[in-house]
Amino acid sequence: MDFPPETIAKTLSGFCICHFKNSNHAPEAPSHYYVTVPISDDSSLLFCFVTSQIENRSWHYNKTNKDALASLVGVNKSILSFLKKDSFIDCNQPTLVRKLDFGKIVDSDHKFEVVTRDIPAGLRQKIVKAIKDSPIVKPFIKKLIKYP
């Protein structure tokens, strides 16, 4: 049985990794992994995008803001066993989504899956530090994070 995204959103209160197609992306874009980061606003979710486009992300930040390169958290199969390629968690552009609006970003024509809720402590710390140290993330988002 598939549950509506709004129902699933209510269960996403801590760190976890979800896999879904974002309806805001181009129709031909594939589904991606997203890391949810715990925040103090229980009515919203904070997502960081996981991308295997390492060269593209590096090039982008190298051209736009070199300091932002430090907020790309590297992950691979040894850290997250479900990954097929070396990837980055882009902590420069976390997306804040109200739980009530979560269904608007999940493409219902594609599968939604909570891949894991078991995120290594070291990785959780790196993600939070990268968001808080990012020169791009807005201060109000940084203040919402409730993980030490």
- Give the per-residue pLDDT at 148: 65
- Give the per-residue pLDDT at 1: 44
Higher pLDDT, 109 or 18: 18
| Three-state DSSP state, 58 | helix
Sheet arrangement for strand 87-98? 72-75, 87-98, 44-51, 32-37, 16-20, 113-116
Higher pLDDT, 95 or 102: 95
Q: How many CA atoms lie within 13 A of 133 on its CB side?
A: 15
- Give the per-residue pLDDT at 17: 96
pTM confidence score: 0.90
| Burial class, 95, CB count within 10 angstroms (exposed 0-12 / middle 13-18 / buried 19+) | middle
Higher pLDDT, 48 or 4: 48
> Is 100's pLDDT higher than 50?
yes
Asked whether 6 and 103 are in contact (CB, 8 A), the reply is: yes
| Residue-wise pLDDT tens digits, 18-42 | 999 988 888 888 899 999 999 998 8
| Residue-wise pLDDT tens digits, 52-96 | 999 999 999 999 999 999 999 999 999 999 999 999 999 999 999
Domain architecture of the chain: domains with CATH: 5-144 (2.30.30.110)
| Residue-wise pLDDT tens digits, 114-138 | 999 999 999 999 999 999 999 999 9
